[in-house]
């Protein structure tokens, strides 16, 4: 049974990834930081469905905690770097604290987790790293410069690490979601949602399951010839 560690897995995209991987026979480790009740509820629901699941707390923006996290899991076959935050601010209003928190949560966390997970994958000559970026990391989002920069950095990390780890049997890919209806976008009003739907060729917004299905595909043995890629799951919003 392949082991998968999903960061930020208590809610939204991460939770749906945990559910879908678990239902497809993976040994799932649910990482969370502050949403303990949600993480425990997810864990309980998966155990009730006779899935293999574990829940583990760690701040993945802290390299020390990440190292301890991978020690406790005993390594992982598949790493889904999903933990992230968002913030809407004019560029001139972004403080040093805003910038540092955005980069550490959305980019440094993935670096720390990859670094800690790779020795186990290299020993096994097999691994899957799946980074959850954003379409704004591809094209940039107004009033989200620090978010866009962090997500663009994640794309760069993906491409470079894929080049480095290919001969070790490890693939590294990136998913760039479009507008996905999660808590992160719960602040949007009806007019905003309608405008976003109108701007999306499919006329719909995405769901966490859309992203989870893409992650499951990239983790599969049949996807072994796919690496260093950015898979846009955005309804055609960015092409």
Cα(130)–Cα(170) distance, integer angstroms? 11
Measured CA angle at 16 (ends 10, 20), to 5 deg: 125
Burial of 91 (0-12, 13-18, 19+ CB in 10 A): exposed
**DSSP calls for 160-218:** HHHHHHGGGTEEEEEEEE-SB-SGGGTT--HHHHHHHHHHSTTSS-B-HHHHHHHHHHH
Tell me which residue has tokens 């574990």: 54
**Active-site residue, 147 included:** yes
Cross-strand bridge partners of residue 171: 128
Options 32, 43, 112, 147, the catalytic residue: 147
Q: What is the DSSP letter of 236?
A: T
Q: From residue 63, how far is each of 105, 108, 111 by CA, in Å?
A: 11, 9, 9
Question: Which of the residues are catalytic?
Answer: 147
């Amino acid at each position: 049974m392949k082991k998968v560690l999903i960061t930020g897995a208590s809610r939204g995209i991460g939770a749906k990834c945990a559910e879908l991987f678990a239902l497809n026979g993976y040994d799932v480790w649910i990482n969370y930081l502050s949403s303990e009740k949600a993480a425990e509820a997810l864990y309980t629901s998966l155990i009730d469905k006779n899935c293999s699941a574990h829940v583990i707390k760690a701040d993945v923006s802290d390299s020390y905690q990440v190292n301890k996290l991978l020690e406790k899991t005993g390594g992982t076959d598949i790493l889904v770097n999903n933990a992230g935050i968002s913030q809407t601010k004019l560029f001139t209003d972004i403080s040093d604290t805003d910038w540092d928190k955005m980069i550490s949560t959305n980019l440094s966390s993935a670096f720390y987790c990859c670094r800690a997970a790779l020795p186990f994958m290299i020993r096994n000559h097999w691994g899957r790293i799946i980074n959850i970026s954003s379409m704004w990391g591809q094209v940039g989002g107004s009033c989200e410069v620090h978010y866009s920069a962090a997500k663009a950095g994640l794309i760069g990390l993906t491409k470079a690490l894929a080049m480095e780890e290919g001969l070790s049997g490890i693939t590294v890919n990136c998913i760039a979601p479009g507008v996905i209806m999660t808590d992160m976008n719960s602040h949007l009003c009806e007019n905003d949602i309608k405008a976003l739907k109108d701007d999306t060729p499919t006329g719909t917004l995405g769901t966490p399951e859309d992203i989870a299905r893409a992650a499951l595909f990239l983790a599969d043995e049949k996807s072994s010839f796919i690496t260093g890629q950015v898979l846009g799951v955005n309804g055609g919003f960015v092409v």
